[in-house]
Structure 1
Amino acid sequence: MKYISESARSISLIAGETWSEQQYLQSMLLGSSNTHADALARWAFGSVDAYVVAANAWLAKNGYAGTTVVDATGLAEGSQGTASELAALAARAFADPVLADIMSHDSVVVAGNRKVDNVAAYRADEGITGLSRSFTDSAGLCFLFRLTVGTGVDAVPLYGAYLREPDYETLDGDLSTLISTAAATLTKTVLVSQGDRVVTYTTPWGDEAHGVAVATKSQLIWLTAPVTKTVTVEPVTTGAKGTRVGQVTFKTPTGDVTVLLELDRRIADPGPVWRMTHPAPVIDAFIKSRTDQ
């Protein structure tokens, strides 16, 4: 009744009803129910105060220095965050398949046969999936969302947060500008081409071969998006051309892309004469083989 009297969003909880955790999440996320936000905090952490402590510790640990919560609903003036950090949190939320599925619905039916409409939905026909759409006197109009640019295999998500928008006319103008310009900030980026040398193997007897990519992989990526590369390879002493030796993985905003690596030429055994005339590397290799077992 507290939130209803304050004209804040709330879906009623009636004594004796049975609610599932998913229905609580649906009511909180789709219906923006402050009652369910408090109830979930008490269920998961024992109290709202305990939730606040845990939430701020998580934010600090994960690098969200500009975001602070003092309640479970976000209504209190002390709960605040930056647009960039809230956009990053929106990306985390949509990466969770349970939360992403909830936000994909226009409405659901929860306990007591109540229909809960998706109040975060806004301009969905233009590729926008809302995560939170709210208004308070101190924060103004706020909208957290995912914008999907492109279709099919070329679809790329963009996560955003508008804060302190004065009205819907301003929000609509900002969204329209984003939608019309977003595609121009995408570029077809070749992550790796077939035959690219990723790792080099050099033997004590002078042979050299490379671990090369077995395929070409490209992806639509935002111009400012970071792409990191991780190479995982096996130690190779001898091997035929085409032997699989590992993989290279690119971490992109839309997911990991992995390409296998293979030898681009044969690494031959040096033969008995070389082994007899170069005992030191042979002994080192034997000792290492015993150590690795």
Structure 2
Amino acid sequence: MTDEFADLAELMREEQELTEGLADIDPEAGRRRRRRGLLITAIILVVILGSAGGYVGWALTAPLSAPAVSSQAPAVPTSPPAPIVLPSVAASAIAISGADAYLGPAASSMWATTGTNDARPIASLSKLITALVILEAKPLADVDDPGPTITFSKADHDLYDKYYVMGATIAPMPIGSSMSERDALATMLIPSASNYAEAVSTWAYGSQGSFVSAARRWLAANGLTGTTIVEPTGMSARNTSTPTDLIALGRLAAANPVVAAITATRSLSLPGPGSMTNTNDLLGVDGINGLKTGNLGEGTYNLLYTASMDVGIGQRLGIVGVVLGESSRAAVDNDVRALLTGISEGFHNVPVAERDQQIGTLTTPWGASATMVIADNTSILTWSDTPIAVDMKTTTPKTYSDGEVVGSITWTAGPHTVSSDIVLRGTIEQPTEWWRLTHPAELGAP
């Protein structure tokens, strides 16, 4: 029976099309044809109403044809490039872990560099190597372990005068005074006391010759083939390294709990050395939490630094960077702060849609209509000028009521995706029974 309904509906549709075509050519003939069509329709309805099952039951319950949808995804905003300012110095490098999906797969090994990868004097950055080599011979159990006690001899005390004459940073070391290994390392690293670097490295290895040999073995074992160490303090310009090696050294130092904790300490007061302030005045600024400064005078200011930054991607960025050969400590600080600020600002939320933003209309075969709008205010986190793609899908309404979800819209930028529902704004009334009875061609297949 349903096949018969469909055939009759098709006959009625064809009759309607012929009538409309004739009306365009001859209005009077069209009116006569229309009256004839109404008569045919009435006859057909009478025939159908008498059929088993009944046309009425079918017409009143048949699914409705899909509405006509006119929609267009909203324009996708664009963002300017991140304001990245790399240091304009002899050499610099930075590696960023935790954001390879945004910054590229190489970011965690090396994200950006300036200058060349030539070996340059590293000055007191050498003391990080000295500390790590000392801890290899005299390890501490944890950050709270003071380690063995070191008693300073007259030879140790004489180092104060030696490095004073050289213009190095020094700290008091009275004859016969004693200090824990951890405190001695702190005095070497926080104020960068060169006399402590030599005294403690000699204590750990018995002589400077043995220490230097151990340092060279340690460098080779850790793959730092571009680094040369001839003494423990960095006062010699022959202590050199490359930006690539220094990034690796920064990771090694940051991974050592004792060195990481000491280099993150802003100030310290100990019997003997007294009050000490960390030479790295950027500690606590822009997420910087280590490591070491170094310079041999104008034009040789260096900083090997680590930082931890929350940029809203669900995990903190781990940053290791180095600046070599700046003109002053202030210039180094400005270089690093400008770069970190640019990285932080490069991660930003871009608004892509507003609540009730209209993106289309929906028109039913029975002449009713409603607008389609985006359900929520929506923004997407992205990096720099990463393009934002949009994908929109709509569905046929079931209830045609205000607020009914009739699709979704999704934005993608790099690894990040956000979505919002598309909803009807305005209720569409269901067609009347008469419309159903008189428009079988607009009803869905039975």
**TM-score range relative to shorter protein:** 0.5 to 0.7
Flag structure 1 segments of 5+ consecutive residues without an equivalent: 187-221, 223-293
The structure with the largest alpha-carbon Rg is 2
Q: 1:174 to 1:138 in 2, by over 3 A?
A: closer
Which one of the candidate residues 337, 343, 349 is aligned to 1:176? 337
For 2:181 and 2:264, the matched residues in 1 are separated by 18
The Cα of 1:171 is off from its aligned counterpart by: 2.0
Which one of the candidate residues 53, 78, 86 is aligned to 2:238? 78
Matched, 1:34 2:194: yes
For 2:333 and 2:272, the matched residues in 1 are separated by 36
3-state SS of the aligned residue for 1:126? coil
Matched, 1:135 2:295: yes
Identical pairs, percent:
30
Aligned equivalent of 2:272: 112
TM-score, normalization by structure 2:
0.39
Higher relative contact order (CA 8 A, sep 6+): 2
Q: How does 1:1-293 map to 2 (within 5 A)?
A: 1-112=161-272, 114-122=274-282, 124-137=284-297, 140-150=300-310, 154-183=315-344
TM-score, normalization by structure 1:
0.58
Report the AA paired with residue 99 of structure 1. Answer: V
Q: Which string of whole-angstrom CA distances, capped at 9 and with x for unpartnered residues, describes residues 210-234 of structure 1?
A: xxxxxxxxxxxx9xxxxxxxxxxxx
Report the AA paired with residue 175 of structure 1. Answer: V
Report the AA paired with residue 278 of structure 2. Answer: N
Query: Runs in 1 of length 4+ with deviation above 3 angstroms?
Result: 183-186
- Asked if the contact 1:144–1:160 (Cα under 8 Å) also holds between the matched residues in 2, the reply is yes
For 1:169 and 1:86, the matched residues in 2 are separated by 21
For 1:70 and 1:112, the matched residues in 2 are separated by 28
The Cα of 1:185 is off from its aligned counterpart by: 7.8
Q: 1:86 to 1:179 in 2, by over 3 A?
A: same
Q: 1:93 to 1:139 in 2, by over 3 A?
A: farther
Answer 1 or 2: which has greater strand percent: 1
The Cα of 1:145 is off from its aligned counterpart by: 0.7
Flag structure 2 segments of 5+ consecutive residues without an equivalent: 1-160, 348-382, 384-446
Q: Which string of whole-angstrom CA distances, capped at 9 and with x for unpartnered residues, describes residues 209-267 of structure 1?
A: xxxxxxxxxxxxx9xxxxxxxxxxxxxxxxxxxxxxxxxxxxxxxxxxxxxxxxxxxxx
Q: Which string of whole-angstrom CA distances, capped at 9 and with x for unpartnered residues, describes residues 19-48 of structure 1?
A: 100111110110101011001110111111
- Asked if the contact 1:18–1:111 (Cα under 8 Å) also holds between the matched residues in 2, the reply is no
Q: What is the number of residues matched between the two proteins?
A: 188
Q: 1:143 to 1:124 in 2, by over 3 A?
A: same
- Asked if the contact 1:11–1:27 (Cα under 8 Å) also holds between the matched residues in 2, the reply is yes
